[in-house]
């Protein structure tokens, strides 16, 4: 059983310089696998990633935080802020092609099906797995979390990235990494709703492990 993230970069076509997001995203994805077998950016602003089901939600949150951490580009006095819509499919992989975009199986089908429903469901991140009750519960959490994840500031997203990269770090240690004081870390932590994000990811993993036996 594998997991597949199918996503696209929102507002990317408003940017003059696509390398603004492509370079950091490729660097991040390269740390998780090899292109194009494990991940691939296609059609300019769409991407796919194969991951372990237990870590895939954390990876999706990390991708979102990375994009939100990029400084907005000013274009005709308007700021373009990047984000991503992502669907996670969980299931088997029936066919492994040299390129992930050509591989197939239930995980890929579920990711594609859920991605097509994101706009209608008014959410930017959702899951489709073999377990309907699991999907219903986790997707409710993700939809509620989207109310603040979609509005992360650059500084909030930077904090989320730092905490995910260093899960055992204290607020004081994270402050040193970011070059800010501990009380500033605390403020960003609360604004980012980081405790809630970590709880959702922990609950997702706990329920998934139970379902997989």
Say how far apart CA 134 and CA 155 lie, in whole Å. Answer: 32
Q: In what order do the strands lie in the sheet with 46-51?
A: 39-42, 46-51, 2-10, 83-91, 125-128
Q: Tens digits of per-residue pLDDT, 102-123?
A: 999 999 999 999 999 999 999 9
**Tens-digit pLDDT profile for residues 150-203:** 999 999 999 999 999 999 999 999 999 999 998 899 999 999 999 999 999 999
Query: How large is the average pLDDT for residues 129-140?
Result: 97
């Amino acid at each position: 059983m594998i997991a597949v993230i199918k996503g696209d970069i929102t507002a990317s076509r408003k940017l003059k310089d696509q390398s603004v997001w492509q370079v950091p995203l490729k660097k991040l994805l390269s740390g998780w696998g090899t292109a194009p077998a494990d991940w691939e950016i296609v059609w300019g602003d769409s991407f796919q990633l194969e991951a372990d089901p237990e870590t895939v939600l954390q990876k999706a949150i990390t991708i979102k935080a990375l994009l939100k951490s990029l400084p907005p580009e000013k274009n005709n006095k308007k700021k373009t802020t990047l984000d991503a819509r992502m669907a996670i499919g969980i299931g088997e992989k029936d066919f492994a092609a040299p390129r992930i975009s050509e591989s197939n199986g239930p995980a890929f089908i579920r990711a594609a099906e859920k991605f097509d429903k994101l706009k209608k469901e008014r959410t930017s991140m959702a899951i489709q797995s073999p377990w309907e009750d699991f999907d219903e519960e986790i997707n409710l959490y993700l939809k509620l979390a989207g109310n603040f994840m979609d509005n992360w500031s650059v500084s909030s997203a930077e904090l989320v990235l730092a905490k995910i990269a260093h899960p055992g770090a204290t607020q004081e240690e994270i402050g040193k990494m970011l070059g800010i004081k501990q009380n500033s870390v605390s403020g960003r932590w609360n604004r980012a709703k980081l405790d809630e994000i970590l709880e959702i990811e922990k609950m997702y993993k706990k329920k998934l492990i139970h379902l997989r036996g």
